[in-house]
A = this chain, B = another copy of it.
C-alpha cells in the first residue's frame, strides 16, 4: 500500500534508533549566490554516507520473523548495497548482495566491511536480475528492492519529515531522482505533513528518464551518461505512480553544472557530497528565477565519492 501519514510516522519511530537524525546546514554565501534561502538536509552525514540507510532499515525491520531468518538480498552497485548489508548486520542476519563486476573496489569493500556476501555478475540489468533470482532461490533470502518497495519509500520519506520538523516556512523541497525512492517519499511527506509545499525532482540531463516520463505519462527508459552515478536508474512502477501525482516537475542539470554545484558545497559548506547529491543545487542555479526569494529545502542524498575521483573532476572543471 502506498505509504500514508501513519505509515511514515511509524517508519520514523521504527528506524530512529538505527539512523542518524542528520543536521541541517545553512550558508549565507550560497544564499547570496542563489538569490533564495537554502536549507540543506545533510544525508551525506547519514550512516553509510547516504539516505539509503533509512529505507533498507525500515524494510528489513518490517519483514516477518520467519522471512528474516534466511537473510535479505538485493542487487545494487552503490549505496543501497551498503544499506542492506548494514541493516542485516544490525539484525544479526545474512545479507546477499549482487553487484556488477565493474562496480568500484571501494564500494565492494564497504559491503564486505559490513559483513555482506557479494555475488559478482555481468554489468547488465538482465544479468543483475537473474543473479539475484538465483541467489534468492538458493538461499531463501527476502529481496529488498532499492526503490520499488513501499517500505523502502516510507523509510526515505523520513528525510523530508525531519527537514520539515527542523525548519519552518519552506516553499519547496528539491530532491534528486534516480529510481525515485527518495523523491516519491519526499512528495508523500510533503502531501501529508505540509500540504501545499511544492516538491521538485532534480535529474542529470544525461539520465533524464524521469523528466521524459513526466512528459509522456509512462515510464521511459534511459541510456544513461552522467557523472551522477547514483541517478542512472529508471523509475519503478510504484515510484512513478507517486511522482506523477505528487511531484510538481523535474528539472535537469548538465554534468558541468553538477560539478560546479558540488565544488561550491565542498568549499562553502565544508561537507563532502557526491555528484548525485549536488544535482538539486545545480538546478537552483540553472533555474534561478523559479526560486528567487523563496525558502528552498535541498536534500543532499549522499557523500560517497572516491577522493581521487573528486579531485580529478574538480581539476577538469
**A positions within 8 Å CB-CB of B:** 23, 25, 29, 44-45, 49, 113, 263, 266-267, 269-273, 303-304, 307-308, 310-311, 314-315
Contact = CB atoms under 8 A, between A and B. Distances in A.
Given A23-B23, A29-B113, A269 B45 contact: yes
Given A266-B307, A270-B273, 7 more contacts: A45-B270, A45-B271, A267-B307, A271-B271, A272-B272, A308-B314, A311-B311
A272 B271 CA distance: 5
Nearest to A32: B113
B311 A270 contact: no
Contacts of A307: 263, 266-267, 311, 314
Contacts of A314: 307-308, 311
Contacts of A311: 307, 310-311, 314-315
Contacts of A49: 270
A269 B307 CA distance: 13
Contacts of A267: 307
A241 B122 CA distance: 66
Nearest to A24: B23
Contacts of A23: 23, 45
Interface centre among A113, A263, A272 (most CB of B within 10 A): A272
9 contacts: A23-B45, A45-B270, A270-B272, A270-B273, A270-B304, A271-B272, A272-B272, A307-B311, A311-B315
Contacts of A113: 29
Q: Which 3 A-B pairs give the minimum distances between C-beta atoms?
A: A270-B303, A311-B311, A23-B23
A271 B270 CA distance: 6
A68 to B, nearest CB: 22
A266 B271 CA distance: 8
Contacts of A29: 113
Contacts of A273: 270
Contacts of A310: 311
A86 to B, nearest CB: 10
Contacts of A304: 270
